[in-house]
Structure 1
């Protein structure tokens, strides 16, 4: 299982790995379910991925891709420029470093144009939410239909991006003169009125830059939450401060065996979209439904130690990273899965077909196992979009918010009656939310 390092708000980043199953949880194996690797691959869009340290207890640099030149702490800068399409993901938690510390932690994301020409940056979708009060971790059913349902800031942010929303906080266009910098984000993570005093902020942005730019996410304390630091204060911190500490636990090398520390991500990951048509191995046109009473599943966000026997690691690689942070972007937080299923019924009679997302027991051996009774840990909470034509051939676009425990078999998202020799197209889209723990599966079942 994945043991979770949690604070007051349940930040479920995968940290530790072992094969122990919780006591009194019976393993229920799905005998008639065949695991398949997910076709396709991640694209090459770079993602500024700021998630370490997740719990920020000190001012400093969280992630900087600026050049090392003229910096007091060159080791804190990764020298990676962005141009064209790129994304930004930031997910951090604040609490007072001492009992009497009443200051507010601000999270700043600065963007710099190093060139001699003006650069234009366009923001397509963007959202940033606090755990308190924007998106508390409320109790929700396993499946709830609706597009404005969420539990936790990661769930809410990814739901907004899935629906292509841009908060008013974010400008659609930013003009950066030659050699200058601008703030993309300058927002507090307030804790003073909370009991216990702890809060988190999740942010995701999809952008395009007309020229090369550098980025940095930074942490700075202010006496109040209505007094954001100035651009010059952020620039001074960037030039003079080191990495924020204390640091998270360093990761286990990928080739090591035994107990695994995945670590948290701080660097530039490669890939923001896994888009594919799920088809038969012998055809790129159709996906033949399973025989009656049988099923097949595709792994989602599979990772080292949790490929479900497919030997497929979907984790986004790191283009640059700090040595004490994750070797790859475990969990693929913010990555959009865009999956199309061109279902085909080859039989001479009607067949009822179901599609579901589930959270099986994490393992490396081939198979799908669930738990009964379910443990208490929530391993997935996020919004899923499905598109299909119903049994009356009427186009449907539906959103479902899912909350799943470890080892939980998901409820059906789509149920279709397929006439003989018919085809039906189903699309499933979601952004992997940061308050989740991989892997999951997408399952097609014929009743």
Structure 2
């Protein structure tokens, strides 16, 4: 059985941890989650460590391995994590991922004999600073959000919002891995070329229509050799986990540059992800059937399988929040701008994206990141970007303190959140994905 889609003892609704904060019902990190991050104590030059979240604490795996006894199999599986190398751990594959998950679950369960040894290995998450959880060699951004694609398409092509290939091909483009940052990232307002409709020539200067995009990121665990494919039967096992992803976008730069080859400077200046990778195994209780609307074409055979139809979708409730500089100065709480759900927003599943990406023989590697594209819902208040919420900048959004936004202003903080809940399962979440806009560099 594939641990990414099947339930086991680690998902038990009655399972509680000796870490009290993991049992409060509100935490994103109950014992049923156990996501991975790379972190160290803030303000130190300590080595980056792989840690696992449990309640408001993080278990330092390097320290934990030294403190407790392990079988030979556990020691081998944990070795890359002790070295701070999540990529090397991911290449070991699903059997070792599951072995470590089961071992951590038993060790952190209330009444575990490991409590005495592991308690000193906990660090409060509030005392940590985070790096990217793994080395991201390549980044591909897809366009799976059909409501986003339809709404944006209507802004430019009112009579034909979806291009003919959308319902057949998972549309994507290759992004820039070097500018991916972790939550807490500051994003410098980018410079670029823009062209006003009434101007004969473009001008170069700061972006005036800076936007966010509410996405999820899929983290590849095991890849494929160049020239080979990962088919639908194998794609599930290739996925290690998911993160929240904000694909910052310079809309005015994008409008001028995107034809004929797509976005470039409008997207390559920054992408922000959440620090904790929530494993696909942890998300197993939140699987849903994948269906297409009546009358839509069914996927071609290489993008179809009985398993994908039965449980290809994942129920992740998503939301976007804004904290302006004025709100921060007055200590006002962040304001929710919109919310949506991955299962309702995405036209393609995670496994379909993997299968399509490799259909021509492209080789994926551990740590590669696949963005879902903007995950907007069908209702106006479910839009995953300001481009949609403000109808292309025509309808300003009024915040509770009276401020208005069509696009992001300098000093604005954008926070993405994600949470899963289902009957018979313990709710879990992704933590925050936060980024703050800085002014463009002068000159």
Alignment TM-score, normalising by the size of structure 1: 0.28
The structure with the largest helix share of the pair is: 2
Alignment TM-score, normalising by the size of structure 2: 0.28
The structure with the largest strand share of the pair is: 1
Relative contact order (C-alpha < 8 Å, sep 6+): which is higher? 1
